Every structure is written in C-alpha cells, then in structure tokens.
C-alpha cells in the first residue's frame, strides 16, 4: 500500500479501512498534566495491522509521523503550538496478555513465566494481573502511571528495579512499517532510556515479553508495601507528569530543587509540588509555557548555585 498524497486522501483511506481518527484535538486530553496545544490529526490504531497501515498511509503525507507517538501521555508536555504532524495515540491499542513461557524453556524450568503484553496495557493492570496469578517481579510498577510501551522506552522504574530488568524481548514497527522482534541481547537499558542496536528512535513498541517469577500473595503484598509507602510522599492525586528531572548521579533531584528554594513556587497555573519538589502540578488552567518557565528557572538556579546540570525526564514536544 502506498502513502496518501494529501490529507484529504489520507482521511478518505482511513475511513475506508475503519481506522479511528480525530481532527483538531486539544492535547490536554492526552497528557496527564492536562494542558497542551491542539493537534491537527490524531490516529488510534487498535492493533499491529492497523499501525502498519497507518505508517504506510502517512508516508506520503508527512515523513516525520513518528515524532509524536503517545502512550499514556504521562511524561509528555505538549507546547501551545499546533501540532501539524500526525499524532499516533496508543490509547486504544492492544492490551492483551499471552503466556509465551514455552518459548523460554530455560526460564520455565526455573519456575519463571514469560508473558507477552500488548504495548497499550497500563502498568497498573499488569501489576493487578501478576497479583492475581501469584507472579512477582513487577511490584515496582505500583504508582507508576502510563502504558507498557512508553515505560519500556524510558526504562521506567525505581532504585530497586526497572523495566529493563524484566524485559526479555519486544516487538517493534520501524519507520517503514516493518515489524521485527528485538531480543534482550540487542537492547541496552540505562537510566531512563533504551537504545536498540542498529535501530534509531523512530520506532513503535507493539508488544513486550516480561519475565516474572512465581511467588506467594503474602510476599508480593509485602514487596508492594515498600513502594506504596514511598509513593505516599508524592502528589499522586494531582495532575502532573511524574518526576520532571532525572536524578543526577549521587544526588536527589527533588532534594536539590527544595534546597535551592523552589518547593511550592508557582507561576501561572503551575506549581512545584509542596509534597515532592521534583513534581510540577497543574493547579488549574496551567499553560505549557507556565510549566516550561518553572523548568527553565529550576535548571538555571541549580546550575548557578550548585553547579549541577538537571536533565528532564519528561519529553517536551
């Protein structure tokens, strides 16, 4: 299938194929901090087949369609400027679960299980599934919002563990719409990032193989308790993007922000959380520029007064 030549041609083909899309959408509905400009076109693939069709169709209309791929929108801040390139949202994407342990005989002999999850599944649902089936290894998912695909791309996690530690393989679609399976040996996980050998950033994760261990309900509950207590000092009930900055090596970003005097500081409708200084919350009516203003000022002050460069954990697009 060749790409569409015009937007009108693209919309016509999307309708013919039954692929969901929306025009002129406010991106505040697709970001956990509930602010953002408008997108010209958002597409909602439900499975790999539809994603492949979308990639092929958008080739002739815009070459950078992968610039904006949105999972749960829990670490993406959209600026006020209109987004003209197509946005691919995983809001309706496959969230199925399949036991593929038979493909991993070495693990199966050790009592481990490997489960294949659709990339659109929320981390909270994976945790609930593992608790129900007495499987351990993803307790650190507690309180982490968003979808699995996005969590793998940014290697989400805690100081105890991260997604990269339990990933065995991922299925991806590249910029040309070609599908391939990437094995663990070709994935290089580091702090809040994933690099794949021979693959640039322009790809979509469609499913993930996670290795989990058989355990008891009591042990799993005890492990979750650790993360539940830690999350109690974070503003989980507020509109935010999670942690704004990565922790510099040997330091806590939240502690640095508090020490340089930004805890509780507000600008416009945005405020640095009084509960945890590495969170910026939307108090109501916050503009993306309000949040960016706080981010820029925090970074400038940290560098000026402490000589520490703070890198953002979130993506600003």
The predicted structure's pLDDT at residue 251? 93
Average pLDDT of the residues in 283-302: 97
Identify the band that residue 105 occupies on the pLDDT scale cut at 50, 70 and 90.
confident
The answer for residues whose C-beta is within 8 angstroms of residue 13's C-beta and 6 or more apart is 4, 57
Q: Quick check: 65 pLDDT over 70?
A: no
The predicted structure's pLDDT at residue 189? 95
End-to-end CA distance of the chain: 30
pLDDT digits (tens, 9 = 90+) for 26-39: 999 999 999 999 99
Q: Quick check: 311 pLDDT over 70?
A: yes
The predicted structure's pLDDT at residue 280? 98
Is the CB of residue 225 less than 8 Å from the CB of residue 188?
Answer: no
Q: Quick check: 54 pLDDT over 80?
A: yes
Structural domains in the chain, sorted by start: 7-89 (3.30.43.10), 97-231 (3.30.465.10), 253-316 (3.90.78.10)
Residue 260, token pair as written in the block: 């340089």
The predicted structure's pLDDT at residue 1? 52
Report the half-sphere exposure of 201 (CA within 13 A, side-chain side): 10
Task: List strands edge to edge, sheet with 266-267.
Answer: 266-267, 270-272, 280-282
Identify the band that residue 178 occupies on the pLDDT scale cut at 50, 70 and 90.
confident
Comparing 21 with 107, the larger pLDDT belongs to 21
Q: Quick check: 3 pLDDT over 70?
A: no
Identify the band that residue 73 occupies on the pLDDT scale cut at 50, 70 and 90.
confident
């Amino acid at each position: 299938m060749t790409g569409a030549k015009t937007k009108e041609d693209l919309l016509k083909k999307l309708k013919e194929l039954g692929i969901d899309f929306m025009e002129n959408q406010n991106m505040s509905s697709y970001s956990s901090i509930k602010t953002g400009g408008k997108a010209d076109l958002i597409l909602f693939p439900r499975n790999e087949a539809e994603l492949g069709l979308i990639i092929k169709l958008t080739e002739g209309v815009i070459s950078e369609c992968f610039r904006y791929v949105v999972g749960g929108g829990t670490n993406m801040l959209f600026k006020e400027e209109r987004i003209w390139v197509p946005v691919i949202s995983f809001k309706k994407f496959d969230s199925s679960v399949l036991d593929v342990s038979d493909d991993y005989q070495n693990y199966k002999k050790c009592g481990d299980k490997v489960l294949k999850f659709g990339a659109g599944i929320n981390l909270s649902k994976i945790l609930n599934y593992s608790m129900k089936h007495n499987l351990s290894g993803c307790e650190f998912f507690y309180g982490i919002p968003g979808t699995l695909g996005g969590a793998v791309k940014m290697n989400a996690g805690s100081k105890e563990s991260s997604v990269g530690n339990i990933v065995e393989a991922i299925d991806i679609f590249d910029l040309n719409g070609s599908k391939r399976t990437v094995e663990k040996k070709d994935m290089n996980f580091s702090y809040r990032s994933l690099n794949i050998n021979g693959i640039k950033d322009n790809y979509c994760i469609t499913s993930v193989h996670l290795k989990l261990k058989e355990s008891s309900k009591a042990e799993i509950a005890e492990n979750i308790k650790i993360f539940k207590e830690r999350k109690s000092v974070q503003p989980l009930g507020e509109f935010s993007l999670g942690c704004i900055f990565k922790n510099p090596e040997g330091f806590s970003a939240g502690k640095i922000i508090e020490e340089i005097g930004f805890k509780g500081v507000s600008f416009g409708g945005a405020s640095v959380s009084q509960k945890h200084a590495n969170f910026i919350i939307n108090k109501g009516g916050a503009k993306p520029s309000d949040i960016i203003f706080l981010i820029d000022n925090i970074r400038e002050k940290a560098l000026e007064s402490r000589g520490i460069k703070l890198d953002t954990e979130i993506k600003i697009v």
